[in-house]
């Protein structure tokens, strides 16, 4: 399987602000890749570099085997791009917009276009300036999907949409998923958890991890250990145990490297007086919070008295 998007040491500075910091990213063909992180984490900057809107300060990025700095007209015939603040010709009607765009894409599918118009219930004779935000995004989706792009890039596409419109656009997107690769950015974990195949987490311009969603979900577990009598913690606690909380006879933490029964047996060896070991799966939001808080603590400056 080839990588549709690949970056190496990708960085971007805006004067003294480091928006991206050495991002190494690989998105395989056919993936639905969710790039997540808080607002200001660098998601839009990364996408604009990939789309040759911004130039990287250092490092490299390739899209469908082409250096992103060389992406031009013909390459965008195979790329669909929809952003949160999509600019569209306000004076055109929806039908005029589709008529205008059609000649730019040799592979434009008129049958698919009519299907999308019907699915999204688009008012063809209404001017774009008179459309609601949700309807504008539907029009942007329809105009980006009708030519069956090999890659679809979406920058916060569902932000501010009501649940019904969001679900309609996601359904329309997933219907095309088997024939394309999708990269979407979002700060809303709930909206991507049910359909993304891969996920990457950006924090202050750094890619903290990039992994298949199924692997990530299997790897993290909330662990609760009940001891028979109070006992000290092990001297050497594995680095994969995060956010440890210890009471008299109850110990709680997150295991970021869970391996089924092998891990259970290892926990018993660490806590031989345990009367109960409870292991629970975690929602995506809880996993990200655990990683982000751990990363934040690791990046805290060391007090001067601790250095002495």
What does the pLDDT look like over 261-299, one tens digit per residue? 999 999 999 999 999 999 999 988 888 777 766 665 554
Number of structural domains the chain divides into = 2
Calculate ∠ Cα 209-78-208, nearest 5°.
Answer: 5
Q: Report whether 11 contacts 23 (CB < 8 A).
A: yes
Residue 161 sits in a domain whose CATH number is 3.40.50.300
Q: Are residues 121 and 224 in the same domain?
A: no
Q: What is the pLDDT of residues 102-119, one digit of tens each?
A: 999 999 999 999 999 998
Residue 296: its pLDDT value, please? 54
**Whether residue 118 is found in the same domain as residue 246:** no
Residue 15: how many CB atoms within 10 A of its CB?
5
Are 174 and 297 in the same domain?
A: no
Identify the pLDDT of residue 253.
94
Please say whether the beta carbons of 250 and 279 come within 8 A.
no
For residue 186, give its domain range: 3-212
Give yes or no for a contact between 203 and 37, defined as CB atoms under 8 angstroms apart: yes
Cβ count within 10 A of residue 207: 22
C-alpha 84/C-alpha 257 separation (Å) is 35
Which structure tokens are listed for 141? 């989706």
Note the pLDDT of residue 142: 92
Same domain, 208 and 226: no
Q: Are residues 190 and 236 in the same domain?
A: no
Question: Are 178 and 283 in the same domain?
Answer: no
**What CATH number corresponds to the domain at position 251?**
3.30.70
Q: Is 130 found in the same domain as 30? A: yes
Same domain, 176 and 258: no
Give the residues of the chain that fall short of pLDDT 70: 1, 160, 292-308
Last residue of a domain, one of 212, 230, 249: 212
Of 157, 184, 212, the domain-final residue = 212
Same-domain check for residues 251 and 170? no
Residue 188 has what pLDDT?
Answer: 72
Rounded Cα distance, 65 and 136, in Å: 32
| Cα–Cα dist 150/182, whole Å | 9
Q: Based on the domain organization, do 250 and 149 belong to the same domain? A: no
DSSP state of 127: B
Do residue 162 and residue 130 come from a single domain?
yes
How many Cβ atoms sit within 10 Å of the Cβ of residue 251? 22
In whole angstroms, what is the distance from residue 123 CA to residue 143 CA?
Answer: 14
Domain final residue, candidates 212, 235, 256: 212
Q: Is the pTM of this model over 0.85?
A: no
């Amino acid at each position: 399987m080839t990588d549709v998007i690949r970056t190496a040491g990708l960085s971007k500075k805006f004067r003294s602000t480091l928006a991206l910091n050495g991002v190494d990213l690989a998105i395989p063909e056919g993936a639905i890749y969710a790039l997540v992180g808080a607002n200001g984490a660098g998601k839009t900057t990364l996408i604009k570099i990939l789309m040759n809107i911004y130039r990287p300060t250092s490092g490299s990025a390739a899209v469908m085997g082409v250096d992103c700095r060389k992406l031009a007209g013909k390459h965008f015939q195979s790329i669909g791009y929809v952003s949160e603040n999509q600019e569209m010709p306000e004076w055109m009607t929806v039908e005029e917009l589709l008529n205008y765009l059609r000649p730019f894409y040799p592979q434009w599918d008129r049958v698919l276009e009519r299907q999308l118009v019907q699915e999204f219930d688009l008012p063809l004779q209404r001017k774009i300036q008179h459309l609601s935000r949700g309807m504008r995004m539907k029009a942007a989706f329809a105009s980006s999907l009708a030519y069956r792009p090999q890659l679809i890039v979406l920058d916060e596409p569902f932000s501010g949409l009501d649940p019904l419109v969001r679900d309609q656009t996601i359904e329309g997107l997933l219907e095309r998923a088997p024939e394309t690769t999708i990269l979407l950015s979002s700060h809303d974990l709930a909206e991507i958890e049910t359909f993304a195949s891969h996920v990457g987490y950006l924090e202050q311009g750094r890619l903290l991890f990039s992994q298949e969603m199924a692997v990530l979900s299997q790897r993290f577990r909330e662990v609760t250990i009940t001891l028979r009598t109070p006992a000290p913690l092990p001297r050497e606690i594995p680095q994969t145990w995060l956010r440890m909380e210890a009471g008299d006879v109850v110990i709680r933490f997150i295991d970021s490297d869970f391996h089924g029964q092998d891990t259970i047996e290892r926990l018993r060896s660490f806590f031989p007086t345990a009367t109960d070991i409870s292991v629970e799966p975690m929602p995506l939001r809880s996993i990200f919070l655990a990683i982000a808080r751990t990363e934040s603590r690791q990046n805290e400056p060391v007090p001067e008295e601790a250095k002495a």
